[in-house]
Structure 1
Amino acid sequence: MTTATTSVVRLSRAALAERSGSAVVTAPPRIVHLGLGAFHRAHQAWYTAHATDAADWGIAAFTGRSPKAAEELAPQDGLYTLIERSAEGDTAEIVTSVVEVNDGADIGRLVELLIEPTTAVVTLTITEPAYRLRADGQPNLDDPDVAHDIESISSPASGAPRPSTVLGRLIVALDARRRAGVGGIAIVPCDNIPDNGELVRVGLTGLARLISSVLAAWIEQNVSFVTTSIDRITPRTTDADRETAAALTGFADAAPVVTEPFKDWVLSGDFPAGRPAWESAGATFVDDIEPFERRKLWLLNGAHSLLAYAGLLRGHTTVAEAMNDSECRGWVRELWDADARNLPAAELQLDDYRTALEDRFDNARIAHQLAQIAMEGSTKLRVRIAPVLLAERAAGRDVPSGVRAIASWIALTLDGTEITDAQQDAIASAAASDEPVRRLVDLIEPELARDADVLADIGALVSTLRA
């Protein structure tokens, strides 16, 4: 839908039906999504809405830390405007696949949905820190919320357990599904984490074992964990975007989503209770997802992190601004050269992928904020930059751009720049120590902290950048 209208009305299924002259199909909620946010609505919800069997697959979504998204979308019956922003202009469509929105704390409704035999898929976009896992993938028992959930679920003081973590809530709902005698289900994490399906499998079954060996065995036998690689840049929505949505559609939308034209979704795993025909909307199903994950994490996300920290130090605020800086563009290309040496270039069509990335990064109409990308740097640098740096060092090669990404993050940290990070306490302790550079590198990747040459290169560049 791209034609502007003169009268603006509040978006709802009834209003959409009246304006279009035909009924708006509300699909049955067969997918449960945890972590309702802009990316989910630009990505998995879009693929579901565009699948050939979309009429059979509705999404019941739950918010994450804040109920705000549910409060905005509930009066709109889950509908929202997706604005696709290219260098040439904006187009918009009303996405109808989200049929129900809930506060993430509503355990009762989550249980009701998961004991339905028709519920076949649980998708998640909650970011890595929200899984509350240790480096070995097991539940972090030092996290007070995790400890509370184990106690609450194992021996609730009164009434139903009230877990506060996402995995805790999922454990309660899966146990209800087990007791209801309902069959298998697929869990599909869609976060930027290597081998995310295996990570969630290990974390969830580990948590289940601490609560009930019977439940843990049932999960191992009945729940599949699908690994995914996801890609679609989705900046934060502004008031101007809300005005654009109204101008393009004629509907007042409290929660439109802006995204780029490019989109990619690669999945690997089984769906014991079925799934939408996402491939009909462009998703790819593969047996071995690892090369695709690495391509995306290293080239797209790695370059984003490099641009975030190096670009902020050079006074830039968005990806497009930073890419317009010839120095930053050169560093990105240098990083991609190193990435390509550690990937099957022909299989992944790396030349075409790199060209597409530069076009995406140059799209100044997508205001992808560097400050937003910079968040959770200690975790992101570990998976986006450190693997290639280690591989290149093992081959006897240096990666100046990888060193620059880490050194820029450290320089910003030592200069007191506020960057949200789940390891903030550890970062503050390291920054205040007698060896701040080594301690901060150790938080990212201990093996790098033991490499004297890399550590010296990072330290020298940190001094230069801070000067």
Structure 2
Amino acid sequence: MSERTQPPLLARASVAEALPATAPPVRIVHLGLGAFSRSHQAWYTAHADDASEWGIAAYAGRSRDLADRLTAQDGLYTLIERGPEYDRFEVIGSVVRAHAGDDLESLLRDLAAPDTAVVTLTITETGYVSTPDGSPDLDHFGMARDLEVLRALGSDAAVEPTARPVTALGRLVLGLELRRRAGGPALALVSCDNLPDNGGRLRRGIEGLAAAAFPALPDWLADHVSFVSTSVDRITPRVEARDVAEVAAATGRLDEAPVIAEPFSDWVLSGEFPSGRPAWETAGATFVADLEPYEFRKLWMLNGAHSLLACAGLLRGHVSVAEAIADPECRSAVERLWDEDARNLPAGLGLDHYRDALLERFSNARIEHRLEQIAIDSLAKLRVRVAPVAERELGAGRTAEGCATVIAAWMAAIESGFCRADAAEREIADALASPNPREGLLGLLSAKLAADPVFAAKVECEFARIAAPAEVTAK
């Protein structure tokens, strides 16, 4: 354990107890340091009964700004739990070290460290740089370059300062290879991204890149690495300058890296932890043998509705989820989507209660979950949140009208100048420049849906209905 100085952000006495001066030892490495990881995985770790035994070394993505701000505060930050009527302030102390994304030396050292037992990831859908089946996309420039870098290291070569993988999977594979060479113990890799079978997708990406880069690594992975799938849920909006001021006013201390979250949180996990894990169940996490039903419930109903509200809401001049769900047109579209989602989920998931809870959460006007934030990388999101439900509905002989509305709203938002912040920007631009832009966009989303002329016509019909009355331009 390391000594931790008192930071300039202690919560008021009526909220959280004073944190111990000694930080927990680092036993978790996290890739993708951001607001969500701090409101969710770090929060569960801080609330576990054995929190004093599990510290996190967290690595940012591209930016070093957040890591620098957290480092100045010894990793401590305020979580603002924003309910419909009031805020609750709590200091979270599970992040022991925060690193910039380019701090490769520290990352490799942490991944190879024998005390590291768990690696968690929130790198977003696009961060996996994979093909639709989860294999590493070796046609992608970054992944192809990483493979060259990894191969150049050889089975015994030292890591040169200039040999730097740029993708998350490339860096993780290199860290696992160094752990193998050091004779390190087994560990669990835990994907916490909004992807179906996210643990399986991570496995296919890691194993595929490892097999192509290091001949001895795949066999070691089979015996020493587990891949855990999870379903994560906690709305975490972007922090504004006024939120920093609110923390200072409420607690009397300055915090340059607070995070906001709704009171609700959920975490369902499935998989093995060969070297142990925090007692996350004592903080409310659930461990199950079959994750898929919970995963699809969340992806389709929460995330799918979010994507719908983002696209349709932006077109109708709304800014936040709360504004959009209060619009009868948007609310009706969400209900139709949920009807289709529910038909493709098994019994026993409490869907009526889940829908009611979602409406309550969406309607919390004090959680300013901005639509423009949700709309980022919409193509990748709709591929897993909406297209699978549409394919199932069509396969059952139904019209998938609710899904068609989401897809049409996405197309209208793109053509109106919204939803352009997308990793697939080039492909989207090519589709828009084609003789039939909607046909091109639908093909990017799902080849199966694009091949169904009845569904394609339904999308066109919904597009005309959605786009015709709206005279909204991009803001």
What is the TM-score when the length of structure 2 is the normalising length? Answer: 0.93
* Paired amino acid for 1:318: S
CA distance 1:453–1:49, shift in 2 (3 Å): same
**Which residue is 1:8 aligned to?**
none
**Which residue is 1:122 aligned to?**
119
**Which residue is 1:13 aligned to?**
6
For 1:237-256, list aligned pairs within 5 A. Answer: 237-256=239-258
Shift in Å at residue 162 of structure 1? Answer: 1.1
CA deviations 1:369-400 (Å, max 9, x no partner) are: 11111111111111111111111122222232
CA distance 1:153–1:337, shift in 2 (3 Å): same
For 1:125-140, list aligned pairs within 5 A. Answer: 125-140=122-137
For 1:84-103, list aligned pairs within 5 A. Answer: 84-103=81-100
**Which residue is 2:472 aligned to?**
none
Moved more, 53-62 or 151-160: 151-160
**Which residue is 2:284 aligned to?**
282
The answer to whether the aligner puts 1:55 opposite 2:52 as a matched pair is yes
The answer to whether the aligner puts 1:302 opposite 2:299 as a matched pair is no
Contact conserved, 2:39 with 2:236, CA < 8 A, in 1?
Answer: yes
**Which residue is 1:27 aligned to?**
24
* Paired amino acid for 1:282: G
The alignment covers a number of residue pairs equal to 456
Shift in Å at residue 414 of structure 1? Answer: 2.0
Which residue of 259, 266, 271 maps to 1:269? 271
**Alpha-carbon distance in structure 1 between the residues aligned to 2:270 and 2:124:** 19
Please state whether the residue corresponding to 2:79 is helix, strand or coil: strand
Contact conserved, 2:11 with 2:251, CA < 8 A, in 1?
Answer: no
**Alpha-carbon distance in structure 2 between the residues aligned to 1:214 and 1:88:** 57
**Alpha-carbon distance in structure 1 between the residues aligned to 2:385 and 2:352:** 19
Moved more, 263-272 or 164-173: 164-173
CA distance 1:388–1:65, shift in 2 (3 Å): same
Contact conserved, 2:8 with 2:255, CA < 8 A, in 1?
Answer: no
**Alpha-carbon distance in structure 2 between the residues aligned to 1:22 and 1:173:** 32
**Alpha-carbon distance in structure 1 between the residues aligned to 2:465 and 2:41:** 43
Contact conserved, 1:12 with 1:75, CA < 8 A, in 2?
Answer: no
Structure 2, unaligned runs of 5 or more:
469-475
**Alpha-carbon distance in structure 1 between the residues aligned to 2:400 and 2:78:** 42
The answer to whether the aligner puts 1:423 opposite 2:424 as a matched pair is yes
CA distance 1:375–1:21, shift in 2 (3 Å): closer
Shift in Å at residue 425 of structure 1? Answer: 0.4
Shift in Å at residue 165 of structure 1? Answer: 0.9
For 1:168-187, list aligned pairs within 5 A. Answer: 168-187=170-189
**Alpha-carbon distance in structure 2 between the residues aligned to 1:354 and 1:18:** 34
Moved more, 393-402 or 351-360: 393-402
**Which residue is 2:208 aligned to?**
206
Shift in Å at residue 424 of structure 1? Answer: 0.7
**Alpha-carbon distance in structure 2 between the residues aligned to 1:247 and 1:91:** 13
The answer to whether the aligner puts 1:398 opposite 2:393 as a matched pair is no
**Which residue is 1:189 aligned to?**
191
**Alpha-carbon distance in structure 2 between the residues aligned to 1:228 and 1:148:** 30
CA deviations 1:12-42 (Å, max 9, x no partner) are: 6355689977743300000000010000000
For 1:211-222, list aligned pairs within 5 A. Answer: 211-222=213-224
Moved more, 423-432 or 102-111: 102-111
**Which residue is 1:411 aligned to?**
412
**Which residue is 1:3 aligned to?**
none
Shift in Å at residue 318 of structure 1? Answer: 0.7
Shift in Å at residue 334 of structure 1? Answer: 1.4
**Alpha-carbon distance in structure 2 between the residues aligned to 1:244 and 1:112:** 38
**Which residue is 2:233 aligned to?**
231
Shift in Å at residue 115 of structure 1? Answer: 2.3
**Alpha-carbon distance in structure 2 between the residues aligned to 1:392 and 1:41:** 37
Please state whether the residue corresponding to 1:251 is helix, strand or coil: coil
* Paired amino acid for 1:333: E
For 1:239-388, list aligned pairs within 5 A. Answer: 239-345=241-347, 347-388=348-389
The answer to whether the aligner puts 1:458 opposite 2:459 as a matched pair is yes
Identity %: 53
Structure 1, unaligned runs of 5 or more:
1-10
